[in-house]
Amino acid sequence: MLERLDPQAPDALLALIKMFNDDPREDKIDLGVGVYRDEEGRTPVFRAIKAAEEKLHETQDSKSYLGPEGDSGFVNGLMPYIFGDDDPTRGGRIAGMQTPGGTGAVRLAFALAQAAGGKSVVLGEPSWPNHRQIAKDIGLDIIGFDHAADAATTDFGALEAAIEKAQPGDVLLLHGSSHNPTGIDYTVEQWERIAELSKAAQLVPVLDIAYQGLGEGLEEDVAGMRAFLAAVPEAMVTYSCDKNFGLYRDRVGAFYVLAADRDILDRAISNANSLARANWSMPPDHGGATVRVLLRDADLTAQWKEELTAMRGRLRWIRDTLAKAGTTGAIDLTPLGEHNGLFSMLPVDSDQVAALRKDHGIYMAGSGRINIAGLNESNIDRFIAALADVTG
Ligand code: PMP
C-alpha cells in the first residue's frame, strides 16, 4: 500500500542547512535558518530560561497528565504581555490554551475557523510557508495577495482587494509584527483600518505573533494588534515563545480566542479543546512550565527582558549598518533599516543566490530571504561587498 505514496520535496531550508554544514570554508555565512544568532553565531539558551528550568526541576513534584489546554499558569501569565496589563481578558471575552509551538496554534485557529464554516484564508504573500501548507492540509483555499508594495511598504490596496473576494467566516491571517519573511509591518493606523474592513466583511481574524520583542519592543510590537482587537467582535491570536524565549525545540506556543461574549467564548474553547485532543492530545509541558516559572519570578522576568533587549539591540545594529551602506551593486539596502525582526527579502535572482553560495560561502533561501542575525561585526562588510560582486 505504502508504495502508492509520492515522495515529497524535502524542506528547502533543511537542505540548505546541510549544504552549509558540509561547506569547509571557515568564513562561510549562514543567513538561511530562522533562529536568532548572537555575535559569535550561536543560539544560546537564555540565562533566565536556564535559571527558571533549575527552579522548575527543584519544585516540580509530578509529571502526571495535564489536559488538552496545557499549563494554564503559562497561558494566563503571557496574557498581560500580549493583551496589556489593564484587564487582559477584556471583561472575560478572552481565554486561551497552550499549544505545541506557534505552529500548533495556527493549526488550531485554522481548524476552528473551518469548523465554524470558513472556506478560505486571506493571506498576504510571501508569508511563513507553513501558513499555506497548514491551510491546504486542513482543506482551506487561499485568497493570496502581495504583502508588500515595494521594498519598504505594505500593499494596502492589495489587502483591500483580497478582503473583497472573501466570504463571511473566511480567515484573515495577519502577522502581529516582524513579518516573516519581509520584515515590513502595518502601522497602527493601518491596523485600525484593517479591523474595520475585517468587521464589515465578517471575517475571522487570526493574528499570528511569533516575534514579540524582536522588533521595536515588547509593547510596541503588539500595539497594532491591540488596536485591532479593540475594534473587532471576535478574533484568534496564535503565539509562539520559541523566538522571544529562545525555546525553539521545546515547542512552546499558545492560542487565544476573543469572542463577542462569554457563552461564545466557552463554545469556541470547548471546540478548540476537542480539536487539540484529536491532533496532539495535550501539548509538551516543559517549555510552557519554564515560562510560567520565569514570569512568576520578578528577577527572572527582569533578566529575560534584559536578554531580549540585547537581542533586539543587536538586530537593530545590523539593520542600521546595512542601511548605512546604501546601495551595493544593484541592491539598495536602505529599506532594511526600516524593517523589523529577523528577516528581510533581497531582490536577488536564483543565479545570484547560487553565486553568493558558490563564490562567497554565503547561504540564503532561494527566495532571497535573509536572516540578518547571521551577520556580525566581522562578516557584515564582506557580505555587503559580496552583494556588489554578484549584482554589480
Ligand atoms: N508564525 C510565524 C510567522 C513564524 O515565522 C513561525 C516560525 N518561525 C511560527 C508561526 C511558528 O513558530 P513555532 O516554531 O513556535 O512553531
ipTM: 0.99
Output the nine-digit C-alpha cell for 23: 561547506
* Ligand 1 and 175: CB distance under 6 A: yes
Average pLDDT, rounded, for the chain = 97
Q: Where exactly does CATH 3.90.1150.10 map onto the chain?
A: 11-45+307-391
User: For 211-253, what is each residue's pLDDT tens digit?
Assistant: 999 999 999 999 999 999 999 999 999 999 999 999 999 999 9
Contact by Cβ (8 Å): 36, 311: yes
The backbone torsions φ and ψ at residue 363, rounded to the nearest 5 degrees and listed phi first, read -110, 125
- Give, in words, the CATH class of 11-45+307-391: alpha beta
Contact by Cβ (8 Å): 106, 210: no
Q: Where exactly does CATH 3.40.640.10 map onto the chain?
A: 65-298
Q: How many CB atoms lie within 10 A of CB 270?
A: 10
* 304 three-state secondary structure: helix
Confidence of residue 3 (pLDDT cuts 50, 70, 90): very high
Confidence of residue 1 (pLDDT cuts 50, 70, 90): very high
Contact by Cβ (8 Å): 219, 212: no
Q: State the pLDDT at residue 187.
A: 97
* Ligand 1 and 240: CB distance under 6 A: yes
Give residues with Cβ within 8 angstroms of 289, minimum separation 6. 56, 60, 71, 74
Contact by Cβ (8 Å): 92, 257: no
Ligand 1 centroid vs 4 CA: distance in angstroms? 32
Q: Which residue has the cell 561547506?
A: 23
Per-residue pLDDT, averaged over 344-361, amounts to 97
Confidence of residue 392 (pLDDT cuts 50, 70, 90): confident
* Ligand 1 and 183: CB distance under 6 A: no
**Pairing mode of beta strands 331-332, 327-328:** antiparallel
User: For 255-268, what is each residue's pLDDT tens digit?
Assistant: 999 999 999 999 99
Per-residue pLDDT, averaged over 380-387, amounts to 98
Q: Which residue has the cell 491532533?
A: 279
Q: Provide the sign of the torsion angle of the four alpha carbons 248, 206, 8, 6, taken in this order.
A: positive
* Ligand 1 and 34: CB distance under 6 A: yes
Cα atoms in the Cβ-side hemisphere of radius 13 Å centred on 25: 14
Ligand 1 centroid vs 102 CA: distance in angstroms? 5
Closest C-alpha to ligand 1, atom 10: 102
Output the nine-digit C-alpha cell for 360: 562567497
Q: State the pLDDT at residue 88.
A: 93
* Ligand 1 and 128: CB distance under 6 A: yes
Name the residue of 35, 180, 367 to mutate for ligand 1: max ligand atoms within 8 A of Cβ. 180
* Full-model pTM: 0.97
Q: State the pLDDT at residue 308.
A: 98
Per-residue pLDDT, averaged over 152-164, amounts to 97
Ligand 1 centroid vs 329 CA: distance in angstroms? 33
Active site residues: 128, 208, 210, 243
User: For 74-120, what is each residue's pLDDT tens digit?
Assistant: 999 999 999 999 899 999 999 999 999 999 999 999 999 999 999 99
As a CATH number, domain 65-298 is 3.40.640.10
Output the nine-digit C-alpha cell for 56: 522548575
Q: State the pLDDT at residue 14.
A: 85
Closest C-alpha to ligand 1, atom 7: 210
* 177 three-state secondary structure: coil
Per-residue pLDDT, averaged over 347-357, amounts to 97
Query: Comparing 3-12, 79-88, 177-186, 209-218, which segment has the lowest mean pLDDT?
Result: 3-12
| CA gap 56, 292 in Å, rounded | 9
**What angle do the packed helices 72-83 and 286-295 form, to 10 degrees?**
60
Name the residue of 103, 107, 121, 249 to mutate for ligand 1: max ligand atoms within 8 A of Cβ. 103
Output the nine-digit C-alpha cell for 320: 542600521
Ligand 1 centroid vs 326 CA: distance in angstroms? 31
- Of the candidates 192, 176, 72, the one whose C-alpha atom is nearest the C-alpha of residue 127 is 176
